[in-house]
Structure 1
Amino acid sequence: MNYKNQISNISEILRENDISPSLQRIQIYKYLLENHTHPNVDTIYKALVDSIPTLSKTTVYNTLKLFQSKGLVSVLTIDENEARFDINTHVHGHFKCINCGKIFDFEVQDIIINPKIKQENKIIDEQLYIKGFCKECLSEE
């Protein structure tokens, strides 16, 4: 996906998805495009609050939920107590290092799912999570 082209067209992307392009929404979307780290609300808030002093965590949360409802971001719930947000909405997997906490994307080939499930149901989200130790943490041992 060409994220650089999207950065210059954020207002247009938001309007195309029936979202009014406020300063806060534009900056949150831009942050997600520039930071493929699967951030949580707190991370995004801390990164933007100095440049947008009127920003609140509630605004960040509500904006991300709006983006999710329009299909612009997906929510990762690898851990029960934390929601992370991903600008990449295509089907892919996530690997979380249980030592450093980083989350990495990886490509997923066609996962074998009983075709009957897709025929009889409407699938709205497909997630594959793997947890373990990343190569950087393993090399430190």
Structure 2
Amino acid sequence: MKIISSSLVFKTVSVIVQILLLIGLGFTVISTAVQIVTAFQAGLIYVASVILENVLLIIVFLEVYLSALDFFRGKGRSVVYVIDAMISFVSREIIIEILAPPFNYTDLLTLGSLIVAGSLARYVISRKGKKRLGQRQLTRKKAR
């Protein structure tokens, strides 16, 4: 009995995840178009609100897609993309909360705190990456 290689499984899962994310992105774009058309009945301000909410959702999909691509390629930035997706999603939720009055100040403070925490985490991770890159370059120069 032949055992399926782990690289084949990994590549298959990678393709499936990418296809699912692209399908989700496609449906989000279609849903956005439909919502924009129906929003014209409620007025231009509502159209702007729908566009803003859905564009931010599309950005979240793209961030998750980039994260998945980096993960399956073996690059180390996938955590940064996940943090970026979280920041984009929470920003979207803040905008939705503000555009749908009455809004709750506690929710806004909580969501704002999540953005601050995500930003700090992203900063720390990016600083670590720059330090590692600098150390590698120093090591290469010394080796010459």
**Same fold, judged at TM 0.5 (above):** no
Could you say which structure has the higher strand fraction? 1
- The structure having more radius of gyration, on CA atoms, is 2
Could you say which structure has the higher helix fraction? 2
Give me the TM-score of the superposition, normalised by structure 2. 0.31
Give me the TM-score of the superposition, normalised by structure 1. 0.31
